[in-house]
Structure 1
Amino acid sequence: MVVINHDSGQPYYAQLVAGLKREIVQGILQADDQLPSVREMAKQHLLNPNTVSKAYKQLETQQVIRTVPGKGTYVNAMDATVAQADLQLKLQQLVAEASQAGITIADLITWLTKMEGQSL
């Protein structure tokens, strides 16, 4: 189950988006699984329904989930190539940010090597 850290500086909707994506990648949520309604998810995590709605809309825009009017919200099947392309774009953005901060690709590789095998 997605965990929302109410003490984190990260917005609640972003935590919900990241948590649901993580559950999909880990196989906890499968294609065509139904998600709780906006109100139910808000109740489960002590969030405002507008916050959950914002997270769901972002996930829909990213084609991670789909809403069927009158039926509910469901997980879409993940296309590995789409997920890889998304990660590659994020990595390119991270490398650009690192470069602006004076961090080399070699530094990033060193960090990644240290992280390998650690639970994230």
Structure 2
Amino acid sequence: MQIDHGSRQPYYAQLVTGIEQDIAHGVLQPGEQLPSVREMARQHLLNPNTVSKAYKQLEAQQIIQTVPGKGTYVQAADSSLLQAELRERFTQIVKLAYQSGVSIAELHDWLDKTGEML
């Protein structure tokens, strides 16, 4: 996971996205411990409050769980929750594509090409 210090996207949001992607790609496994807030901040040259904000958002989404005195861990994925989140994000992307003039046929083509890469 990389933090782009030149990006307009807030650091905490980049961290949230990076952790979500690491989980989705199997880099982080359910039950795996994440670095402490201070360690994650040190690794990515961030303020610990920024990392804490990202961790709190991920906890609210039930992606990670903090066990007091033990650490922060990746939660086992609930497939129905994950599918609902994906459906919501997909709907947002389709709406944005529509507003940008992308046709449904083009979206189908993109999905087919992405599916071929997997």
TM-score (norm 1): 0.85
Amino acid at match of 1:22: Q
**2:39 paired residue number:** 40
Ranges in structure 2 where 5+ consecutive residues have no aligned partner:
none
Displacement of 1:6 in angstroms is 1.5
**2:106 paired residue number:** 107
Amino acid at match of 2:9: Q
Tell me whether 94-103 or 33-42 shows the greater mean CA deviation: 94-103
Amino acid at match of 1:89: E
Displacement of 1:41 in angstroms is 0.4
Ranges in structure 1 where 5+ consecutive residues have no aligned partner:
none
**2:72 paired residue number:** 73
**1:29 paired residue number:** 28
Q: Secondary structure at the match of 1:73?
A: strand
CA distance in 2, matches of 1:65, 1:88: 20
Note the aligned Cα RMSD (angstroms).
1.8
Identity %: 59
Residue deviations 1:11-55 (CA, integer Å, cap 9, x gap): 211111111111112222111111111111000100011110111
Displacement of 1:118 in angstroms is 4.9
Amino acid at match of 1:109: H
TM-score (norm 2): 0.86
Q: Secondary structure at the match of 1:30?
A: coil
Q: Is 1:88 matched up with 2:87?
A: yes
CA distance in 1, matches of 2:6, 2:111: 27
**1:17 paired residue number:** 16
Counting matched residue pairs gives 118
CA distance in 2, matches of 1:23, 1:111: 23
